[in-house]
A and B are shown apart, each in its own frame.
Chain A
Amino acid sequence: MTSTASAPTRSEPQAVPLHRPVSTALHRRPRLRLGALLALPLTWLVGLYIFSLALLLITAFWLVDPFTSLVRPGFTLDNFALLFSNPAYVSTSLRTLGIALAVTALSAVFAIPLGIFMAKIASPWMRAVLAVAITLPLWAGYLVKIVAMRITFTEEGFFNSVAGLIGGRGPGFGIPIVILTLTYLWFPYMALPVYTAIRQIPVNLFDASADLGAQGWTTIRTVVMPLLTPALIAGSVFTFSLSLGDYLAARFVGGPNSQMIGSIIASNINLNPPVAAAFSVVPIAFVVIYLLVTRRTGALERM
């Protein structure tokens, strides 16, 4: 090999500057450097993400020819008016909102005590097991989990069989099972930020609170909860918005009368794209309102 021979010469100081035209040009032009860095993500964000959303919004104002069922470009507010005038659409929106809020509340109620246990009480081994147990559902496909819930609660499923032994009936498909299924799906998104936030609360704040006379519940209310607020908001944005957009849970474990916004969008996507587009603005509006409300409470100001 020549490397042994060339090694000594390589260590000598090099007087001749290296010729690297691209690096030199980039070094002289900071804006060009920034442009190169952002080219890909910006193409993605603007070209695909915002562009497709804009198209969706525009479609919501288009018309459908009543005779040919063809979509015609134009401008009408009828599609949006329909959201308010059709009682089925209004009740579906409200039902979806209720389900999303219930999923969020249920996730938080499970996540807080679990997080306190994991972060402050469990042994490191137990903590690792629970962390895996929480994230494990994320490894399984979304449909797999819905089917699992369907099998559990179906007519000949586990709960009906067990309840049947004592002459009763298990819970059938319906809104409560939809809420349960969606909580099952989105729980990790709430549990992880909450657990992380609780872990970051110094243990001696619990000691200090007890030392100053507060019992467990008072400590949770006055110390833990305020420090958890940002994590709860972060987690709830996921559970809330993901629930608002879901329709497969309603379809497979919802039974009758449990249509969600997604169900209506899905059924209109071919028949009447402008109505589907108008309806898909509703969950976006709910999320925006939700974020504005959390901002108004001032929960984030002291963070």
Chain B
Amino acid sequence: MPATDTTAPATTPDAPSSETAGVELRGVSKHFGDMVAVRELDLTVAPGEFFSMLGPSGSGKTTVLRMIAGFEDVTSGQILLDGQDVTAAAPFDRTVNTVFQDYALFPHMTIAENVAYGLKVRKTPKTEITARVGESLEQVRLSHVADRLPHQLSGGQRQRIALARALILRPRVLLLDEPLGALDKQLREQMQIELKQIQREVGITFVFVTHDQEEALTLSDRIAVFNEGRVEQVGTPREVYEYPQTAFVASFLGISNLIPADLARELAGAEGAISVRPERVRLAATDASMSAAETSVIGTITETVYTGPATRYIVTTDYGLTIVAERHNDHAPDDTAPFHRGDQVRAIWYREHAALVP
């Protein structure tokens, strides 16, 4: 455990913003009655990391976040913040702050009052509150809405206010519970960039909950993929995408061609089921030559899907296997595609591009 020079958690709201902390979960379980939401979870988040917890709804990711924040008790296990056991600490005694899914702004307070709330309950001097609220609103470029009420703001603005309200307390860890879930796609992408910038500026640990795999891949330093209360895989975006360790991870992140174990053994000599990404599969004529490092199947194109930057071909073999191949539309825009529905084709991929998914 690292030696720390921190005083009691509740008395450090004025710690400089460069101070950050790691989070560690040791054997954490959470039961709601008979339902097990989280099972025996071990997880380590490094200080300063942008860490995403990705999974479908009901996979336990939000419960884990709420346990780190202190809104839920753990059934068993330990939660450590910066090496200190906070398992039994109340939310107001933890140096973490939360950005809630639907922002949770206080409807009866102005934007400035909302942002000031945390400082006010800590009895911070008035002049300091005014100054810091000003800075905070500046940071999210919303100084002009200080006197408005939350319902007068757009979704994106409310989102930024929720962020400002949490960051003004200079937490060591910021928890974000699907903060972009309620925004439309364009705004969401813009906010992703903004979030990343803010995280770099303040330099603290972000623990980010999302069910959107693209968002997780775009933002994170590392991703934990949740399924049914367990973590299936933890790794960098590249690791979890390119080398999924389980069939669930392979299918939850992007599109994946899952080839069952017996077929994979026959085709590629693999030791179990394999997963191949559509963009790793190329199509060729049935008599095309291929290298020794490649594997292929022959089938019929049963569907083509134009998605703008790429076209997807769904190839079905005689024995019922379906392979999705993606081809970038990097040829001339009006070029007709070389493959059509009903064509007999060979779908080819490099064996090393297939991940073994036991």
Which residues from chain B contact A227 at a C-beta distance below 8 Å?
A: 107-108
Mask, B88-104, CB within 8 Å of A = 1, is 00111000111011101
Is B149 in contact with chain A by the CB < 8 A criterion?
A: yes
Cα A170 to Cα B125 with chains together (Å): 52
- Is A12 an interface residue when CB atoms closer than 8 A count as contact? no
Stretch at the interface among B35-43, B114-122, B291-299: B114-122
Q: Is B102 touching A204 in the complex (CB atoms < 8 A)?
A: yes
| Chain B residue with the shortest CB-CB distance to A223 | B106
A212→B169 contact, CB < 8 A: yes
Asked if residues A204 and B108 are in contact (CB atoms below 8 Å), the reply is: no
CB atoms of B71 and A207 under 8 A apart: yes
Which of A205, A227, A303 is packed against the most chain B CB atoms within 10 Å? A205
Q: Are B149's CB and A210's CB within 8 A?
A: no
Say whether, besides A208-B98, A218-B121, A302-B149, A213 and B13 are in contact (CB < 8 Å): yes
Contact of A302 with B108 in the complex, beta carbons under 8 Å: yes
Shortest C-beta distance, B121 to chain A (Å), equals 4
Majority SS at the chain A contact face: helix
Question: Across the interface, which residues of B come within 8 angstroms of A69, CB to CB?
Answer: none
Q: Top 4 closest A-B pairs, CB basis?
A: A212-B118, A208-B104, A210-B91, A204-B104
How many A-B pairs have beta carbons closer than 8 Å: the answer is 66
How many whole Å from B159's CB to the nearest CB in chain A? 14
| Set of chain B residues within 8 Å of A207, measured between Cβ atoms | 66, 69, 71, 91, 98, 100, 104
Q: Provide the residues of chain B in CB contact with A226, threshold 8 Å.
A: 108
B55 close to A (CB within 8 Å): no
Query: Is A215 within 8 A of B104, CB to CB?
Result: no
Chain B, interface residues (CB within 8 Å), range: 20 to 34
From 1 to 22 in chain B, residues with beta carbon under 8 angstroms from any chain A beta carbon are 10, 13
Query: Looking across the interface, which residue of chain B has its beta carbon closest to that of A208?
Result: B104
15 contacts between A and B (CB under 8 A): A202-B102, A205-B104, A207-B91, A211-B96, A212-B117, A212-B118, A212-B166, A213-B10, A213-B121, A214-B121, A215-B90, A222-B121, A302-B108, A302-B149, A303-B108
Asked if B117 and A211 sit within 8 Å, CB to CB, the answer is: no
- Chain A proximity of B234: nearest CB distance (Å): 26
Add 5 more A-B contacts to A222-B117, A302-B149 (CB < 8 A).
A205-B104, A207-B91, A207-B104, A215-B92, A223-B106
On whether the beta carbons of A208 and B92 are closer than 8 Å, the reply is no
The answer to the question of B60 belonging to the interface, with a C-beta cut-off of 8 Å to chain A, is: no
Q: Hey, which chain A residues are within 8 Å of B61, CB to CB?
A: none
Chain A residues lying within 8 Å of B47, measured Cβ to Cβ, are: none
Q: Which of A98-114 contact B (CB under 8 A)?
A: none
Question: For the complex, is B165 an interface residue (Cβ under 8 Å from A)?
Answer: yes
A211 touches B121 (CB 8 A): no
What is the CB-to-nearest-CB distance from B226 to chain A, in angstroms, rounded to a whole number? 21
Interface contact B92-A214, CB-CB below 8 Å: yes
Q: Which of B90, B97, B101, B102 contacts A212 (CB 8 A)?
A: B97
CB interface residues, A 38-82, toward B, < 8 Å: none
Given contacts A202-B102, A218-B121, whether A210 and B108 have CB atoms under 8 Å apart is: no
- Cα(A215)–Cα(B118), bound, Å: 11
Give the docked Cα–Cα distance between A226 and B149 (Å).
Answer: 14
Question: Residue of A at shortest CB range from B115?
Answer: A212
Instruction: Report if B244 contacts A (CB, 8 A).
Output: no
Choose from A204, A205, A213, A303 the contact partner of B118 (Cβ within 8 Å): A213
Chain A residue contacts of B100, Cβ below 8 A: 204, 207-208
Task: Kindly identify which residue among B97, B105, B122, B149 contacts A211, using a CB–CB cutoff of 8 Å.
Answer: B97
Say how far A248's CB is from chain B's closest CB, in angstroms: 40
Q: Known A204-B100, A302-B149; judge A210-B121 contact (CB<8 A).
A: no
B71: A residues at CB distance < 8 A: 207, 210-211
Q: Does B70 contact A (CB under 8 A)?
A: yes
A208 x B108 contact (CB < 8 A): no
In chain A, positions 185-215 with a C-beta closer than 8 Å to chain B are 202, 204-205, 207-215
**Are B69 and A211 in contact (CB-based, < 8 A)?**
yes
CB distance from A224 to the nearest CB of B (A): 10
Closest to B110 in A: A302
Of A208, A210, A213, the contact of B106 (CB 8 Å cutoff):
A208
Chain A residues within 8 Å of B10, by CB = 213
Which residues on A sit within 8 Å (CB–CB) of B121?
212-214, 218, 222
Contact of B104 among A202, A302, A303 (CB under 8 A): A202
How far is it, in angstroms, between the C-alpha of A257 and the C-alpha of B118 when the chains are bound? 52
Task: Find the A residue at minimum CB distance from B116.
Answer: A212
Q: A205 to B106, Cβ gap below 8 A?
A: yes
**In the bound complex, what is the Cα–Cα distance between A152 and B9 (angstroms)?**
53
Which A residues are CB-close (under 8 A) to B169?
A: 212-213
Q: Is the CB of B92 within 8 A of A210?
A: yes
Tell me the minimal C-beta distance from A288 to chain B in angstroms.
27
Centre residue among A212, A223, A226, A302 by max chain B CB count within 10 A: A212
CB-based nearest A residue for B72: A207
CB-defined interface of A259-303 with B at 8 Å, one 1/0 digit per residue? 000000000000000000000000000000000000000000011
B9 to chain A, nearest CB (A): 11
Complex CA gap A303/B151 in Å reads: 11
